Amino acid sequence: MDTATRGSLFDLPSDRLIDRGIYYEPAVFAEEIEKIFKKTWQFVGHESELAAIGDYLTVDIYDQRLIVTRAKDGALRAFYNNCTHRGAALATETKGNCGNAFRCMYHGWSFDLEGRLTGLPRRSSYGPGVDLSMYNIPQVRVESFAKFIFVCLDSAAPDLETFLGGVKAPLLETSADVQVLGRLSFFYPGNWKLWSDNARDGYHAEYTHPLVGAVYRDVAESAGTIQHFAKGHSKLWWPIEGDPRNIGQLQEKILGVTGAQHNSPGTRPMPPVKIDFARGNVIAAIFPNVHLQWLMAGSEHVMEIARPIGPKQTRVDMIAFAPADESPEGIAFRLAKTMDSHSSAGKVTGDDCEAVTRITEAVHADGVQWTPLNRGLKEGDLGHKTDDTALRGFYAAWRDHMGVGS
Amino acid sequence: MDTATRGSLFDLPSDRLIDRGIYYEPAVFAEEIEKIFKKTWQFVGHESELAAIGDYLTVDIYDQRLIVTRAKDGALRAFYNNCTHRGAALATETKGNCGNAFRCMYHGWSFDLEGRLTGLPRRSSYGPGVDLSMYNIPQVRVESFAKFIFVCLDSAAPDLETFLGGVKAPLLETSADVQVLGRLSFFYPGNWKLWSDNARDGYHAEYTHPLVGAVYRDVAESAGTIQHFAKGHSKLWWPIEGDPRNIGQLQEKILGVTGAQHNSPGTRPMPPVKIDFARGNVIAAIFPNVHLQWLMAGSEHVMEIARPIGPKQTRVDMIAFAPADESPEGIAFRLAKTMDSHSSAGKVTGDDCEAVTRITEAVHADGVQWTPLNRGLKEGDLGHKTDDTALRGFYAAWRDHMGVGS
Amino acid sequence: MDTATRGSLFDLPSDRLIDRGIYYEPAVFAEEIEKIFKKTWQFVGHESELAAIGDYLTVDIYDQRLIVTRAKDGALRAFYNNCTHRGAALATETKGNCGNAFRCMYHGWSFDLEGRLTGLPRRSSYGPGVDLSMYNIPQVRVESFAKFIFVCLDSAAPDLETFLGGVKAPLLETSADVQVLGRLSFFYPGNWKLWSDNARDGYHAEYTHPLVGAVYRDVAESAGTIQHFAKGHSKLWWPIEGDPRNIGQLQEKILGVTGAQHNSPGTRPMPPVKIDFARGNVIAAIFPNVHLQWLMAGSEHVMEIARPIGPKQTRVDMIAFAPADESPEGIAFRLAKTMDSHSSAGKVTGDDCEAVTRITEAVHADGVQWTPLNRGLKEGDLGHKTDDTALRGFYAAWRDHMGVGS
Amino acid sequence: MGGEAINRKEEAMAQPVQAQQADLTAIQDLFYRAAEMLEEGRFLEWVDLFAEDGVYTAITAANLKDRGLAIFTDRGRAGLRERAAYWMGMWQVNRGSTSHVIGNVRLVGRDGDQIQVRSKFIMTRMNRDGLVDLHTAGSYQDVLTERGGALLFQHRRVIIDNRTLPSNFTDPL
Amino acid sequence: MGGEAINRKEEAMAQPVQAQQADLTAIQDLFYRAAEMLEEGRFLEWVDLFAEDGVYTAITAANLKDRGLAIFTDRGRAGLRERAAYWMGMWQVNRGSTSHVIGNVRLVGRDGDQIQVRSKFIMTRMNRDGLVDLHTAGSYQDVLTERGGALLFQHRRVIIDNRTLPSNFTDPL
Amino acid sequence: MGGEAINRKEEAMAQPVQAQQADLTAIQDLFYRAAEMLEEGRFLEWVDLFAEDGVYTAITAANLKDRGLAIFTDRGRAGLRERAAYWMGMWQVNRGSTSHVIGNVRLVGRDGDQIQVRSKFIMTRMNRDGLVDLHTAGSYQDVLTERGGALLFQHRRVIIDNRTLPSNFTDPL
Ligand code: FES
Ligand code: FES
Ligand code: FES
Ligand SMILES: [Fe+3]
Ligand SMILES: [Fe+3]
Ligand SMILES: [Fe+3]
């Protein structure tokens, strides 16, 4: 390592620097699972996915496999997806309806919708008076806000709404009454925090995504803000530039790269979906790993959850939404187009996958061990959309959890 | 972890509980290799596979690669499959005939059927009077019982027959005079002990295997025993239920799931194989990882050896047998049908693979860290076939080897 | 482990034995990266590959990714392939031309051909008077000899020519004026040192490669030498046996294995390439991992670099050369045939891949923990081509770096 | 759109065997040329294999059985050209050679001048280490149409077996 | 059984090229429909592609060269229906989408009304992480028979290149 | 050599559809038999599928775009027999069953009595653990020639998608 350089970067206050080891060290990753993922509220799904009694969702918090059900009393319940007999998973699908009970495939033990052992086959061999409740599956906390369901493995953590704090507002504003269109997931070869960074980073879009670059090429000072909330959450907002119907003009720039003749009209009809032009674009980030993308006036509405798989491997689960009262034409349009820019096949996210892959490949460099977070340094929680404001906030929360001094 | 629950399971005597960490902790696995696999007799094959001088079998005890040969004097010999020059494997096939010697492919050193260096090409460069015996490959112990060949890496271990003890009887009863039909292997994503557990577990079959469930659906108290022998071996036995020719009736139940019309006869001719109806079904388990399956009156006769590959990865090697004096029709039938229910493609074992996979996926749960072994708790080594008798015996032997108190 | 055997091998002086753990222990591998690969000159490419300003090559020293450029002043420069902002790799291809600068795909930061930050988009948010030089990428040492480019991560290491020492002569003799025909790489499942061993080992060829065996079958004492140079380098030399045009005779031996009739002529015209028959065959090895193969009078000219990927995984990068003034027919012939015996598909190297694979599979044997290096033991740095002279020299240098006593 | 109308009308295919073979040969030729154009980067030629109002869409098998959330849907030449633009540089991702091996090409129906075809494919991709990986596999469900003597894609639906996509799934399917 | 009688009698195939093409088209159609039925879970339809006394068997290439220990052998419609029953729920295993890409279909002989055919296949499967894995690969050796104008499987032998099976190898081959 | 002369002259293929089909069937039969011979170890039969001065060569896609450094090039029957000799024991490497699934076979040109053909392939190989791995994938570019009523390989170029070869890449491609 070139110590001179290290010295010069050290001149920045330490809370604005990241030691790049946090993106690849196995020990840091293991500690994050214990101190962050097992201590915070983790996203599961939307209440509409658990409409009927016996409906369930499964979710993994790293290696802790959980089931969330709609129980007989209509309440949500969560418990380990793990038979108390020999430990087999009870449910293997992401989503389903189990009827009255989960029946383990190994020895047929049955557990009700709250994880209580209710069926013990060939029971007598357990002796007289066996106490079934000894084998109930431990429950875990489950709460919801704006119909978004979260679980928490820590019994001492504050409740969900306290945890969410400032980020409740953008969630409510964008997602109070939605339906689920479907789910899609993808992997990327990199640390989960690279996705959290990216969702708080309004600086990259113009350079990572050539289409966005084309939009802003001649914009000297574009509008938009990044707001940091306590506990590591944030809201990125920016308006739609120009005439939203003028997508044809943009398309000409795109098609320009093909060198082809084209005759797309200068303006296109607005898509037949419910949108809210004034709200522009919103990315609400919930610490540590949830990012609600409400984009293009709400015509793209996707929740992204970055699931940690390993120090250098992450799975992003996406859920696509539509307004609950969207028209049939709107639904058809959204089913066809919502994911167009999302996912590892997406016109936008495809490039983000490349960026995080390139970081993972190169970030071990002995000569460059620190990443600066000093863009838009100033007091307060509100910055210009391209500032590092929310990144600094995220890492402050991260340090709190990990117990390292700021 | 929910300590209340942990407490309640702790109320059981500790020798009836398994800490689930033993199914995935790398340190436990590494210790098992040293303290169990390098200290016990490990199965290699059947003497008929080494009929001629120069015939050999290779076997891996985790990372210790061995060769077993039929030497010039007709005796069995075992030594490392490892050239004493630079360490290349001498044999790369499971089975073969090497003629008089193994010739290393790298520098052509030759070793005889007892592992002695006999050919040293361009010898003079090793100086005058080089002592070839300095480069003999160390031998390891090899013994056989009922023509089943075992090796042992521990020079201090008791001899094979002493080791086998009580399990010698079922081996002799079922397999004294057999021929080998062939070999087949499969992987499963889970700890090797899950296979040992499964072979000692007469409880699961009715629930894991729907066909077995159909057989016993209306049987209130089915017959069968599990017998534990000293040192972790065991014998599971159960009779054939009902009229063995009445498979057609069972088949109707199977075909019922298809909802299809069918006209299979109510009774079928017995298969043209030598069977012993009175002996029923026998699974003889040899600690730690060998399970002889003699099923359906001997019409399916398969040895399964669970080879540890990693904490969560196992390869099961199977050898199919027939009576030495089986008829040509019997051989043809057995070649076609022996594996029907075995292997990861088998009508029975396919489901066992699923069960152990589900355990591997879910067993890390912080909230459920213990597995009870308390079914059929009573004094003595003989239980009902669905009792945990032999599981308790297996883990007693396991604890002895691992040096953990009971 | 059989201590008797271990004892007998211990009778050799310890500098002639290798503990086989060095071929697989992760801790040894990690230490080698720090103490050898980050301390020695590592091969990058040939100067002709960086002919124009802005041409670059990338190279990885394990996890340290580097760029080497032809800078504006015509000099070579090397720096980390790593953006000082968030750490993305700047170049993802092995070879290319970046124009004036590397532009990072994430936020568009631009670095010149010496790694200096020259473009900082939307700069004002970094405050007034931001010092761009604080974000220059640290440079690393780059030097070349005989137009072969090397980098070194250690600022205290001696310069390249001092490092090369005795091996400079064979490099100059064979490669002073060459052009690059192309690159090809392959993986093998084994430790990088197995490749270094193999390149210093004139003993194996006759046995590993049946064709070579056929050549020497009747040669009682073949010619050729192995020369060890200080710091672990070496030169293996041997003449071409017999009439070089008489390949047809050899081919008859090859075709003999097919049992087919054939009517290839007894002599073939020499290939239309520039060769130097008197020089025979040369393999010049540069510590730790570079092997220049100048074979068959120079009609095959290939550099092999063994890149360490893991304790048991190596990638070999090959660069094929031709004399700078080779004729068009010669170039065509070389493009078609240079790789015929090289690479994991090569008629010679294919077998070497098998040999190192067999070592990796078997080398853990508890009973055989040592590899002797005692062939052709005598004073001095020059041995017969089949002696272990250069292997002893390599491990002496290896021990120096690793800080273990000889 | 035609794509939704793909349903097996095998009984309707009372066509002389020989004509069917000719069709099949022409269909296979179209599919193989399309794959070759994509692998060789001849993207604008590929666009011309679609009808003016042609549709190109991809979806996971799981979502096809659910509400139908697509991975992407490109409608008409303008939409297809936009996709070509992404392949031609609007994405900044690394590319590695891909191969599409197409098999099991089968006529499943005919509806006026539209031919319904099903086929299977396996797609491989060179990874960043230079080795070839299995990238994805699945089915094509196509509606083809004849215009001016040439077969064109009216609706091409790519159904992939994945439920989770690998990273960098931007290569032409 | 016919299966053992598969031997190459290519010289006996003195058939007009055009007829051969028609046969090949019909054979391929049978193979592709069979694969599609298995992938789509239409198992009872698949049973009907076999002759009444048809045989369906699988074996590793290694065991085929040895004594012939099969992975499984189903004889006759009852045996095939039993296998269908396992696919339809007698196994409790997880399922992921599979694809069978069949290639290299080649007539190798003809013996009375029986046609001998060889082909190759690669089979992929979605794993528990949602990605597509290579599951197995190998050959089909088929004896087909014509009954009532339709080709049926008289004997289908699946030869897989594996010596060791992956876990959960219960998917239709 | 003919191989370098492969260029698409699709316009020149003004041949009746039916004749094309017959050609295609014969070409596919040649390709499939060649693959089967290699998989079954019938190497000398495979040599006889080449013209007397036939060429068999392999190259990475990357090097094909660069100066053209081949992995190997065998010229003429003697060269091909030498390769057969290596497969038959001149290499001491371990072998595992391989499968070549060939698809997308397409006539791309015709030049006198020479036919230019392109196709795709995926090759699998049983690894040392007994499982089937994806080994490589890519394209064949062939020039075929008719001699005495039979099609022969005049020039077979195997283009693999790899930039880096797996270990033990000595199996027939
Ligand atoms: S593991 Fe669930 S019932 Fe036994
Ligand atoms: S490694 Fe066996 S002879 Fe050298
Ligand atoms: S990471 Fe390179 S510009 Fe931001
Ligand atoms: Fe982005
Ligand atoms: Fe079972
Ligand atoms: Fe060699």
Q: Which residues of B touch C200 (CB under 8 A)?
A: none
Residue E3: band (very low, low, confident or very high) from pLDDT cuts 50, 70, 90: very low
State residue A379's pLDDT score.
Answer: 87
CA distance C89 to chain A (A): 5
Q: Average pLDDT for residues E44-50, to the nearest whole number?
A: 97
Residue given tokens 């290839």 in the structure block: C264
Q: At what angle do helices E76-85 and B247-256 cross, to 10 degrees?
A: 50
Residue C4: band (very low, low, confident or very high) from pLDDT cuts 50, 70, 90: very low
| Integer-rounded Cα radius of gyration of chain B | 23
Residue F5: band (very low, low, confident or very high) from pLDDT cuts 50, 70, 90: very low
State residue B248's pLDDT score.
Answer: 56
Q: Which residues of A touch D92 (CB under 8 A)?
A: 208, 210, 351, 354
How do residues D149-159 score in pLDDT, each as one tens digit? Answer: 899 999 999 99
State residue B135's pLDDT score.
Answer: 95
Q: Where are the beta strands (DSSP E) in D8-149?
A: 50-60, 72-75, 98-111, 114-126, 132-147
> Are A214 and A254 spatial neighbours (Cβ–Cβ below 8 Å)?
yes
Of F102, F122, F163, the CB nearest to D124: F122
Query: Is pLDDT of C129 > 60?
Result: yes
How do residues C356-405 score in pLDDT, each as one tens digit? Answer: 999 999 999 999 989 999 999 988 999 999 999 999 999 999 999 999 86
How do residues B22-37 score in pLDDT, each as one tens digit? Answer: 999 999 999 999 999 9
Residue C262: band (very low, low, confident or very high) from pLDDT cuts 50, 70, 90: very low
State residue A271's pLDDT score.
Answer: 81
Of B151 and C9, more confident: B151
Residue C216 burial (C-beta neighbours within 10 Å; 0-12, 13-18, 19+): middle
User: A147-165 burial, b if ≥16 CB within 10 A, otherwise e?
Assistant: bbbbbbbeeeeeebeebbb
Ligand 2 neighbours, Cβ below 6 Å, are B 83, 85-86, 88, 104, 106-109
> Are B79 and B137 spatial neighbours (Cβ–Cβ below 8 Å)?
yes
Nearest atom (ligand 1) to Cα of A83: 2
SS3 track for chain B? CCHHHHHHHHCCCHHHEEEHHHHCCHHHHHHHHHHHHCCCCEEEEEHHHHCCCCEEEEEEECCEEEEEEECCCCCEEEEECCCCCCCCCCCCCCEEECCCEEECCCCCCEEECCCCEEECCCHHHHCCCCCHHHHCCCEEEEEEECCEEEEECCCCCCCHHHHHHHHHHHHHHHHCCEEEEEEEEEEECCCHHHHHHHHCCCCCHHHHCHHHHHHHCCCCCCCCEEEECHHHCEEEEECCCCCHHHHHHHHHHHHHCCCCCCCCCCCCCCCCCCCCHHHCEEEEEECCCEEEEEEHHHCEEEEEEEEEEECCEEEEEEEEEEECCCCHHHHHHHHHHHHHHCCCCCCCHHHHHHHHHHHHHHCCCCCCCEEECCCCCCCCCEEECCCCHHHHHHHHHHHHHHCCCC
Q: How far apart are CA E73 and CA B335, in angstroms?
A: 9
Full-model pTM: 0.95
Query: Is pLDDT of B69 > 70?
Result: yes
State residue D125's pLDDT score.
Answer: 98
Q: Which residues of E touch A187 (CB under 8 A)?
A: 129, 131
Q: Could you tell me the two tokens for A391?
A: 């990144």
Name the residue among A255, A251, A280 with its Cα closest to residue A268: A251
State residue B5's pLDDT score.
Answer: 43
Q: How far apart are CA D128 and CA A394, in angstroms?
A: 31
Distance from the alpha carbon of residue B198 to the mean position of ligand 5, in angstroms: 6
How do residues C171-180 score in pLDDT, each as one tens digit? Answer: 999 999 999 9
> Are A381 and A393 spatial neighbours (Cβ–Cβ below 8 Å)?
yes
Our mutation pick for probing the ligand 1 site, out of A80, A84, A109, counting the most ligand atoms within 8 A of Cβ, is A109
Residue A16: band (very low, low, confident or very high) from pLDDT cuts 50, 70, 90: confident
Residue A129: band (very low, low, confident or very high) from pLDDT cuts 50, 70, 90: confident
HSE, CB side, 13 Å, CA atoms: give it for residue C74: 0
Q: Average pLDDT for residues C120-130, to the nearest whole number?
A: 92
How do residues A299-346 score in pLDDT, each as one tens digit? Answer: 999 999 999 999 999 999 999 999 999 999 999 999 999 999 999 999
Q: How far apart are CA C286 and CA C305, in angstroms?
A: 10
Query: Is pLDDT of A12 > 80?
Result: no
Cis peptide before D166 (omega within 30 of 0): no
Name the residue among C116, C310, C86, C112 with its Cα closest to residue A358: C86
C-beta atoms of A187 and E131 within 8 A: yes
Distance from the alpha carbon of residue A303 to the mean position of ligand 4, in angstroms: 15
> Are D61 and A234 spatial neighbours (Cβ–Cβ below 8 Å)?
no
Cis peptide before C189 (omega within 30 of 0): no
CA distance E141 to chain D (A): 17
State residue C241's pLDDT score.
Answer: 74
Looking at this protein, which amino acid is placed at residue A13? P
How do residues A345-384 score in pLDDT, each as one tens digit? Answer: 999 999 999 999 999 999 999 999 899 999 999 889 999 9
> Are B339 and B346 spatial neighbours (Cβ–Cβ below 8 Å)?
yes
- % of chain B surpassing 90 pLDDT: 80
How do residues E72-99 score in pLDDT, each as one tens digit? Answer: 999 999 899 999 999 999 999 999 999 9
Of A31 and C256, more confident: A31
Question: At residue D35, what are phi and psi to the nearest 5 degrees?
Answer: -65, -40
Cβ-Cβ contacts under 8 Å between D and E: the total is 82
Sheet holding D150-160, edge to edge: D72-75, D50-60, D150-160, D132-147, D114-126, D98-111
Show the DSSP H helices in A149-290 as ranges: 160-164, 168-175, 193-199, 205-208, 210-216, 247-256
Distance from the alpha carbon of residue E32 to the mean position of ligand 4, in angstroms: 42
B271: CB partners within 8 A, 6+ apart: B299, B330, B333, B337
Looking at this protein, which amino acid is placed at residue C383? G
State residue E145's pLDDT score.
Answer: 96
Q: Average pLDDT for residues A120-134, to the nearest whole number?
A: 92
HSE, CB side, 13 Å, CA atoms: give it for residue B99: 5
Q: Average pLDDT for residues B232-251, to the nearest whole number?
A: 76
Q: Could you tell me the two tokens for B13?
A: 């005597």
Q: Average pLDDT for residues C70-93, to the nearest whole number?
A: 97
State residue A8's pLDDT score.
Answer: 47
Q: Please report which ligand is nearest the Cα atom of A356.
A: 3
State residue A244's pLDDT score.
Answer: 55
Q: Could you tell me the two tokens for C282?
A: 């040369």
Q: Average pLDDT for residues F106-117, to the nearest whole number?
A: 93
How do residues B386-406 score in pLDDT, each as one tens digit? Answer: 999 999 999 999 999 999 854
Sheet holding C178-188, edge to edge: C382-384, C225-228, C234-238, C281-286, C290-295, C300-310, C313-323, C178-188, F164-165
Reduce the DSSP state of residue F9 to 3 states and report it: coil
Residue E63: band (very low, low, confident or very high) from pLDDT cuts 50, 70, 90: very high
Q: Which residues of A touch E94 (CB under 8 A)?
A: 92
User: C327-350 burial, b if ≥16 CB within 10 A, otherwise e?
Assistant: eeebbbbbbbbbbbbbbbbbbbbb
Q: Atom 1 of ligand 1 has which residue's CA nearest to it?
A: A86
Nearest atom (ligand 2) to Cα of B108: 3
Q: Please report which ligand is nearest the Cα atom of C110.
A: 3
Query: Is pLDDT of A126 > 80?
Result: yes
Could you count the other beta carbons within 10 Å of the beta carbon of residue A257?
16
Our mutation pick for probing the ligand 2 site, out of B79, B81, B82, B86, counting the most ligand atoms within 8 A of Cβ, is B86
Of D29, D99, D129, the CB nearest to F164: D129
Q: Please report which ligand is nearest the Cα atom of A362.
A: 3
Query: Is pLDDT of F4 > 80?
Result: no
C-beta atoms of F101 and E105 within 8 A: no
Q: Could you tell me the two tokens for A108?
A: 């047929």
Binding partners of C (≥3 Cβ pairs within 8 A): A, B, D, F
C-beta atoms of D168 and A258 within 8 A: no
Q: Rounded mean pLDDT of chain A?
A: 91
Lowest mean pLDDT of A180-189, A365-374, B51-60, B83-92, name the range: A365-374
Our mutation pick for probing the ligand 3 site, out of C104, C110, C126, C136, counting the most ligand atoms within 8 A of Cβ, is C104
How do residues B178-234 score in pLDDT, each as one tens digit? Answer: 999 999 999 999 999 999 999 999 999 999 998 888 878 777 778 999 999 999 999
Residue of F nearest to B103 (CA): F92
CB A347 less than 6 A from any atom of ligand 1: no
From the candidates C94, C254, C267, C361, which should be mutated to test the interface with F, based on the most F CB atoms within 10 A?
C254
Query: Is pLDDT of B103 > 70?
Result: yes
Q: Rounded mean pLDDT of chain B?
A: 91
State residue C267's pLDDT score.
Answer: 56
Q: Which residues of F touch E163 (CB under 8 A)?
A: 96, 126, 130
Query: Is pLDDT of D18 > 80?
Result: no
Query: Is pLDDT of F19 > 80?
Result: no
F55: CB partners within 8 A, 6+ apart: F1, F2, F3, F73, F74, F75, F76, F154, F155, F156
Q: Is C242 left (phi over 0), alpha (psi -120 to 50) or beta?
A: left
State residue A256's pLDDT score.
Answer: 64
Of C334 and A16, more confident: C334
Residue C11: band (very low, low, confident or very high) from pLDDT cuts 50, 70, 90: low
Binding partners of A (≥3 Cβ pairs within 8 A): B, C, D, E
State residue B14's pLDDT score.
Answer: 66
State residue A221's pLDDT score.
Answer: 79
Q: Rounded mean pLDDT of chain C?
A: 91
Of E4 and B146, more confident: B146
Q: How far apart are CA B179 and CA B49, in angstroms?
A: 9
Name the residue among A140, E23, A345, A9 with its Cα closest to residue D160: A345
Of C287 and E10, more confident: C287
> Are A278 and A144 spatial neighbours (Cβ–Cβ below 8 Å)?
no
Distance from the alpha carbon of residue B260 to the mean position of ligand 2, in angstroms: 63
Q: Please report which ligand is nearest the Cα atom of A89.
A: 1
Residue D148: band (very low, low, confident or very high) from pLDDT cuts 50, 70, 90: confident
Name the residue among C361, C341, C247, C243 with its Cα closest to residue C301: C341
State residue A404's pLDDT score.
Answer: 81
CA distance C242 to chain B (A): 21
- Are E and F touching by the rule of 3+ CB pairs within 8 Å? yes
Lowest mean pLDDT of A259-263, B91-95, F49-53, F64-68, name the range: A259-263
Enter the ipTM: 0.94
Residue A141 burial (C-beta neighbours within 10 Å; 0-12, 13-18, 19+): middle
C-beta atoms of D99 and F106 within 8 A: no
How do residues A40-80 score in pLDDT, each as one tens digit? Answer: 999 999 999 999 999 999 999 999 999 999 999 999 999 99
Q: Which residues of A touch E130 (CB under 8 A)?
A: 185
Question: Judging by DSSP bridges, how do beta strands F164-165 and C178-188 pair with one another?
Answer: parallel
- % of chain B surpassing 70 pLDDT: 89
Residue A394 burial (C-beta neighbours within 10 Å; 0-12, 13-18, 19+): buried
C-beta atoms of A255 and D81 within 8 A: yes
Of F33, F35, F99, the CB nearest to E137: F99
How do residues C208-255 score in pLDDT, each as one tens digit? Answer: 998 888 878 777 778 999 999 999 999 999 998 766 555 555 666 666
> Are A111 and A101 spatial neighbours (Cβ–Cβ below 8 Å)?
yes
Query: Is pLDDT of A1 > 50?
Result: no
Q: How far apart are CA B263 and CA B255, in angstroms?
A: 10
How do residues B56-68 score in pLDDT, each as one tens digit? Answer: 999 999 999 999 9
Query: Is pLDDT of A398 > 70?
Result: yes
Instruction: Tell me whether E73 touches chain B (CB under 8 Å).
Output: yes
B29: CB partners within 8 A, 6+ apart: B191, B308, B310, B311
C-beta atoms of C336 and F168 within 8 A: no
Q: Which residues of A touch E131 (CB under 8 A)?
A: 187
Query: Is pLDDT of B342 > 70?
Result: yes
Q: Atom 1 of ligand 3 has which residue's CA nearest to it?
A: C86
Q: Average pLDDT for residues F45-73, to the nearest whole number?
A: 97
Q: Which residues of F touch D22 (CB under 8 A)?
A: 17-18, 21
Interface of C with B (CB under 8 A): 2, 5, 8-9, 11, 20, 23, 197, 203-204, 206-208, 351, 354-355, 358-359, 361-368, 371-372, 374-377, 384, 386-387
